[in-house]
């Protein structure tokens, strides 16, 4: 549940930006002025490059930013525009979480650089847990968006305007590090990929910045768009933070000291898994929220408890740890955050992919085969694979990914049900409801 920034906070956000930069934006040529508002979308402003809570938050921006008519491209460039490549192939789209990466500000002769940037950024994402352990649950697609000019608007300054495919621009809403895009243009490229659960837009820039478009797409079905500059070493952290919202349904854990209306939260218990009105004692007593993790040492440092301040409010809301990735870039997810992210992964991905079609009856000459993704967990665990015939476990087949019908020792002419189940028994999940969702099954009809 994201909370829209109130007018008082929006004023405060503008105030923390450098006043000279804001003056430059206000007096820049018409091309650098705020774009016309056709429709609005809420985005998250990334935290300052050097840390801290000031200036983070959510703000409404135009959905159809600064993109103009289709850029003037050569015939060769037009042929390259919209090309789709499966950069990471871990299985069919129906069974994997599909990430679509689109570049902006890359000319036709820079597409090789875009592909290298996309792979480097994905490597940065998968260096963070739980992405590291679960990276085989993902497919990654690149879509080539060819721009007429290299680079993006707002880099280096607000008066810089470039003709690009997606209309990316810094200084969105006069905030230098807020990197906005023309969302309809992004969607036109995302639609070319076979599937999209998450979208990452990489701007051809070394400037720090990004944005989180965390409203799900009603037409294409993806959970959100993260924008990031391809060449900045911290931009991947911005993207990972945004997936905490879109996949983990996590709240921001930062807050705004001294901002009117955000001194104290007085509303109902939030739906977010990482903010609560309960302190540690009441949380344990009511067995609510992250009570199963209280007292445990968290990857982001310190002990899981109830730390006051979060969800933008200084008091009245608690967060699980002092400084997780949902508050400070460069930190890991805390334990409740890791659990929420794993739940998000499994909303889109399955642990069992049938390689033998399940739409026909298997006979003695057939073999039931499945693919089960690897896990790169520190403890070396793999998904537990178990086979069942008419609901009775066949323990001799445990761990196997294929079973011949002839091995079932069928003794009659009836049609039987053969099924295989893969389950992830990770210690990173303690909520039984989430644990039950970490299981996938495939089933076939079999007979003599």
Domain closes at, from 214, 246, 278: 246
pLDDT at 189: 98
- Are 164 and 108 in the same domain? yes
Question: Does 180 lie in the same domain as 58?
Answer: yes
Q: What is the pLDDT of residue 58?
A: 80
SS3 308: strand
Averaged pLDDT for residues 248-269: 93
* pLDDT single digits (tens) 122-132: 999 999 999 99
- Given 181, 216, 246, the domain boundary residue is 246
With respect to residue 323, please indicate whether it lies within any of the assigned structural domains.
Answer: yes
Residue 29 pLDDT: 29
Chain centre distance of CA 258: 31
**Residue 442, pLDDT score:** 97
Q: Could you tell me if 234 and 88 lie in one domain?
A: yes
336 or 72: which leads in pLDDT: 336
Picking from 346, 320, 193, 164, the residue whose alpha carbon sits closest to that of residue 252 is 320
Contact 436, 403 (CB under 8 A): no
Q: How many CA atoms lie within 13 A of 1 on its CB side?
A: 11
Q: Are residues 394 and 312 in the same domain?
A: no
pTM, to two decimals: 0.88
> Looking at the structure, do residues 300 and 430 belong to the same domain, yes or no?
no
For the segment 420-427, the average pLDDT, to the nearest whole number, is 96
In a domain, 422, yes or no: yes
Judge if 207 and 73 occupy the same domain: yes
- The residue among 401 and 42 whose pLDDT is bigger is 401
Q: What is the pLDDT, as a whole number, of residue 28?
A: 30
* Claim to verify: residue 265 and residue 361 sit in the same structural domain: no
Tens digit of pLDDT for each residue in 18-27?
A: 333 322 332 2
Which domain covers residue 430, as residue numbers? 351-446
With CA atoms as reference, report the closest residue to 260 among 317, 314, 318: 314
In-domain check, residue 343: no
Measured CA to CA, the distance from residue 176 to residue 294 in angstroms comes to 39
The CATH number assigned to the domain holding 367 equals 2.60.40
Q: Let me know: does 375 contact 406? Beta carbons within 8 Å.
A: no
Number of domains in the chain: 3
Query: For residue range 316-325, what is the model confidence (pLDDT) as tens digits?
Result: 999 999 999 9
């Amino acid at each position: 549940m994201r909370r829209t920034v109130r007018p008082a906070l929006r004023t405060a956000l503008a105030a923390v930006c450098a006043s000279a930069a804001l003056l430059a934006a206000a007096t820049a040529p018409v091309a650098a002025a705020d774009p016309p508002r056709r429709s609005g979308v809420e985005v998250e402003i990334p935290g300052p490059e050097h840390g801290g809570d000031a200036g983070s938050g959510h703000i409404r921006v135009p959905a159809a930013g600064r993109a103009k008519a289709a850029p003037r491209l050569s015939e060769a460039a037009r042929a390259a525009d919209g090309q789709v490549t499966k950069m990471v192939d871990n299985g069919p789209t129906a069974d994997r979480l599909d990430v679509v990466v689109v570049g902006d500000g890359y000319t036709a002769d820079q597409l090789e650089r875009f592909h290298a940037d996309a792979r480097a950024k994905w490597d940065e994402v998968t260096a963070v847990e739980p992405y590291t352990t679960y990276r085989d649950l993902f497919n990654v697609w690149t879509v080539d968006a060819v721009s007429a000019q290299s680079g993006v608007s707002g880099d280096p300054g607000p008066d810089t305007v470039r003709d690009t495919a997606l209309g990316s621009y810094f200084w969105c809403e006069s905030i230098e590090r807020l990197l906005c895009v023309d969302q309809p243009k992004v969607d036109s490229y995302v639609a070319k990929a076979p599937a999209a659960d998450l979208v990452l837009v990489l701007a051809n820039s070394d400037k720090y910045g990004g944005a989180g478009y965390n409203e799900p797409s009603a037409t294409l079905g993806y959970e959100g768009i993260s924008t990031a500059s391809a060449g900045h070493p911290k931009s991947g952290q911005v993207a990972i933070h945004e997936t905490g919202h879109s996949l983990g349904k996590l709240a921001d854990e930062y807050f705004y000291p001294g901002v009117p209306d955000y001194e104290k939260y007085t509303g109902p218990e939030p739906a977010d898994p990482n903010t609560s009105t309960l302190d540690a004692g009441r949380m344990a007593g009511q067995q609510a929220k992250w009570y199963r993790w209280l007292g445990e040492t968290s990857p982001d440092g310190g002990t899981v408890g109830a730390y006051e301040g979060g969800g933008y409010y200084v008091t009245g809301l608690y967060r699980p740890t002092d400084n997780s990735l949902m508050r400070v870039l460069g930190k890991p997810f805390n334990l409740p955050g890791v659990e929420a992210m794993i739940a998000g992964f499994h909303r889109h991905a399955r642990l069992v992919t049938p390689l033998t079609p399940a739409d026909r009856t298997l006979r003695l000459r057939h073999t039931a085969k499945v693919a089960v993704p690897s896990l790169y967990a520190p403890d070396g665990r793999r998904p537990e694979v178990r086979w069942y015939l008419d609901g009775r476990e066949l323990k001799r087949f445990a761990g196997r990914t294929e079973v011949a019908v002839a091995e079932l020792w069928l003794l009659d002419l009836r049609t039987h049900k053969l099924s295989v189940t893969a389950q992830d028994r990770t210690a990173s999940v303690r909520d039984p409801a989430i644990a039950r969702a970490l299981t996938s099954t495939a089933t076939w009809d079999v007979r003599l």
